[in-house]
Chain A
Amino acid sequence: MEDPHTQQSSHAQQSSRAKQDSRAQQDSRTERHSHAQQQTRELPSWLAAEQDYEPQTDRSSFVQKSALSIAAVLRQLRLDDGTSARFSPSAPLKLVLLVLALVANSLSRNLMVTLILLACVLVRALFLNRSALARVVAVSLGAAGLAFIISLPAILLGQSTSAVRLGVKALVSTGLAMEVALTTPASQLTGALRSFKVPNLVIMTIDLTLRNIVLLGERALETLIALNLRSVGKDSDKRSSIGGVGGTLFIRASVSAQDTYDAMVCRGFDGTYDPTSRTTFRRIDLLWVGSTILLALLFLHLEGILFA
C-alpha cells in the first residue's frame, strides 16, 4: 500500500504538470495563430501575380449555331403534339380528306376550287392557338413566296396570273398540310396509317422516330453545351469534337432504341399495331363526308366533267 502523504504529493506534482502542459499548449496555439496571421498577410508570389490571361477569341459558331438550331427544332416539336378540336374529323378520315383536297387543288385549272379551299384553310386557321397560327402562316407564306419566285419567268413572258395562281395554290396546299399536322396527335396519325394497311415496320419506325427526336435532341443540346463550356480559348482540335458529339449521340441513340424496344416487349408489344383500338370514328365525320361529296361534285361540274 502506498503512503497517503506520498499519494498527495504525487497528485500535487501531476496537477502542476498538467497546468504547465496546458500553458505550453496555449502558448503554442497563440504562436501558431500569429504565424498564420503573418502568412495571410503575405500572399504567395504565384497567387499575388497579376493575371492578364485573356482567352484567344475563337469562332465557336459551329457549336452555337448547332445548339440554337437544335433548340429551335425542339421548341417546335414540344410546342404542340397536335390537339384535335371539337369539330375535327377522326384521324383516318382527316388523312383521306387531306389527300383529296391536295389532289383537287393541284388538278384544278380554274381558281374556284383553290379559293374555296383557301376559305376553308383560313377559317380553320382562325381557331388555331396563337403559336400554331403563327407557324401555319409562316410556313405557308414561305411556300407561296417560293412558288411565286420560281414562276417569276412566267411574269416576264406575260403570264402574270399563273405566277400568282401557283403562289396561292402552294399557300393552300401547305396550309392544309400544316393544319392537319398541327391538329392531329402523333399517335392518332400512326393509328390512321395502320388502318390504311401501311406495314407495321414502317409505322413502328415513324412512331419511334417521332418519340426519339425530342429525347435525342435534348441530349445533343446537352453535349453541345458541355463542349462549349469546356472549350475556353482557341481550340484548334475542334474538328475531332464534331465526331465526338456525333459518336456519343449515336451510341446513346442505339442504347435508347434498344431500351425502348425492350420496354415495349415487356409490356406485351408483339410488333403489330391494332388499328381498331386507336381510331374511333366520330359522328361529325358524316358531316365532313357529306360536304366533301358536295365539293367534289362541284369540282367535277366546274371542270366540265359532270353535268357539263
Chain B
Amino acid sequence: MHIPENYLSPSTCAVFDVVMLPIWARAIKKVQQSVPREKMPLLGIAAAFCFLSMMFNIPLPGGTTGHAVCGTLIAILFGPEAACLAVSIALIIQAVFFGDGGILAIGANCFNMGFVLPLVGFGIYRFICKRIDGRKGELIGAAVGSYLGLNAAALLAALQFGIQPALFHDATGAALYCPYPLSVSIPAMMLGHLTIAGLAEVIFTVGILAFLRSAVPSFGIEGSSEKAQTAPAFALLAALIVACPLGLIATGDAWGEWGLEDLAQMVGYEPAGLASGWEWSAFMPDYSVGALPEWVGYIVSAIIGTALLVIIFRLAAGAMKPTVDFDTPAH
C-alpha cells in the first residue's frame, strides 16, 4: 500500500503533504497532552511493531503482495493521534532509509495509513466495545476495527491511483503517472485487501494486543504510569525481527509498486511523468544491504528501523516537560 515515487502527480502529492501538516500539528499537540512522558518509549515500541508488520509481505490473489499495518493496534493502545504520529514516523523511516514508498508521496501514504486507518479502526473498535463488555468485546472490536481500517486505507490508495489517468494524460491519452483507471485500481487493490491482507491485519492486531494485555498489562495509555516491564514486549520485537525474512517468501511486487520496466511491459508504454520524475536513492533499497544475502539484509534493516523508532520516541520523551499529577496522593 506504499505509494511509490512518481505514481501520483506532484500536485496530488503536494495536496496530501499540505493536508497532513495540520493533522500532524494537532496530533503532536494532543500526544503531548494525553500521553505521559513515561509512556513515550512504549509508544516507540508500538511504532516498531507497526514497522515490522509492514515488512511481512504476504502473497495476495492476482500475483501481488500486501502487508499488515497495525495502525489500529497503536490507536487502541495509545489513542488515534499517537497512532497517527507513530505510523507516520515509521513510514518516513521506510521511505528515507529503505526506499519503501515515495518521498514526495509521504503525505499521501501518511494520510492513508497514518490518519484514515487508525481513525476508522479506532472508531469501530470503540463502537463495538460499548456494546460488548470485557476482553471479548475488546478483541472483537480490535478485529473488526483493524479489518475495516486497513480496507478503508486500501480504498483510498486505490482512489488516489485511479484518478491519475483521468486527471493527468498527454494529448494522445497516454497517462503521465499511474496508468490504471479507477475501474482497474479499485478491484485490484480491494480484492487482495478484503481477503488475505485484511486477515493478516486482524491476526497481527488481535495477536499482539492479546499478548500485550496478558504479558504487559500496563502497556498502553491506560495502564499505571509506573515503569512498565518492557522485557516481554522487547522479546516479541526480537521474535518478529528474526521472523521477518518470512516476508521474502512472497515474491512479486505489491499492486502499484512496480519498477518502471515492469510497468512498461504491462501497459505497453512508459508513462512520461513516471519515467522522468525525481527519485530518491535510498540507503538500503528494498531492505537489502549490499551483497549480503537477502534474509540477512532484511534482518539488519529490521534491527536498524526498529532501533531508530524506539530511540526517536525515547528522545521525544526526554524533550517533553515532566508531567507531575499533584491531585493523586503520594504512595
Contacts and interface: CB of A to CB of B under 8 A. Distances in A.
A126 B310 contact: yes
A134 interface: yes
B315 A134 contact: yes
Interface string B308-325: 101100110110000000
A122 B305 CA distance: 9
Contacts of A302: 290-292
B90 to A, nearest CB: 15
Interface string A105-127: 00000111001101100110110
Given A130-B317, A137-B315, A164-B283, A119 B310 contact: no
A122 B315 contact: no
Interface in B163-212: none
Interface string A153-177: 0000000110010001000000000
Nearest to A304: B291
Contact of A119 (B290, B303, B311): B303
Contacts of A123: 303, 307
Given A119-B303, A122-B303, A134-B318, A111 B311 contact: no
Interface residues of B, number: 18
Most buried by B among A118, A164, A302: A118
Nearest to B303: A119
Contacts of B314: 126, 130, 133
A30 to B, nearest CB: 58
Nearest to A118: B304
A115 B300 contact: yes
B281 interface: yes
B284 interface: yes
B140 interface: no
B289 interface: yes
A126 B305 CA distance: 12
Nearest to B312: A137
A182 to B, nearest CB: 15
A116 B300 contact: yes
A119 B307 contact: yes
A126 B311 CA distance: 6
Contact of A110 (B291, B300, B308): B291
Contacts of B291: 110, 112, 302
Given A111-B289, A116-B289, A125 B311 contact: yes
A118 B284 CA distance: 12
Given A111-B290, A160-B281, A133 B311 contact: yes
Contacts of A122: 303-304, 307-308, 311
Given A130-B318, A161-B281, A164-B283, A115 B311 contact: no
A123 B281 CA distance: 25
A130 to B, nearest CB: 5
Contacts of A134: 315, 318
Interface of A: 110-112, 115-116, 118-119, 122-123, 125-126, 130-131, 133-134, 137, 160-161, 164, 168, 302
Interface of B: 281, 283-284, 289-292, 300, 303-304, 307-308, 310-311, 314-315, 317-318
Given A116-B289, A161-B281, 18 more contacts: A110-B291, A111-B290, A112-B289, A112-B290, A112-B292, A115-B290, A115-B300, A115-B304, A119-B307, A122-B303, A122-B311, A123-B307, A126-B314, A130-B317, A133-B311, A134-B315, A160-B281, A164-B283
A-B residue pairs, 9 tightest by C-beta:
A122-B307, A112-B290, A119-B303, A130-B318, A115-B289, A110-B290, A119-B304, A119-B300, A112-B289
